Chain A
């Protein structure tokens, strides 16, 4: 079963608006990462946030992590049509069998021009 769950499942906004996606997970983690995927292609790494960090920024992206609530959010500010993609959170943790990365189901973002 998947560790992370994203919400919403789909999001449609106008260009220039902000987009917020949330991710919840079930067990303790080492890191949490956000990825973007365009139309069934490979994943592009966006941001990695460690379990001892609370917030990280990268350009128009802002990620927060609340380990007490086991949740993270990805904010994309001033969205563009090119941001249209699926966004996934992935949690990294040590478990039986070693270090594992487990992906959530993803949020499909559609930015209308």
Chain B
């Protein structure tokens, strides 16, 4: 059974710092890995999707890497801003029946202090 973990559970950094969030998964038979952002009381917003054949994806100040063989992904946030404060979740997509199943990690709660 696929399991996804995230380290750390919470992180507090001063504005301007670069930071790394970690995601680990147990089964490498995945379609893709996604990083999401969740603001309090809101749904999840997809930030980056890395296909299983890719190594990394970049969007603005965000860079996500994927090492499928070791079951790891990292989300790198450059020059953090208070607006980056949110919970970040990773999810892996794996085959299920006629579609796909997304298995989520518990999230990392990020606070960026002004």
Q: Do A and B interact with each other, yes or no?
A: no
A→B interface (CB under 8 Å): none
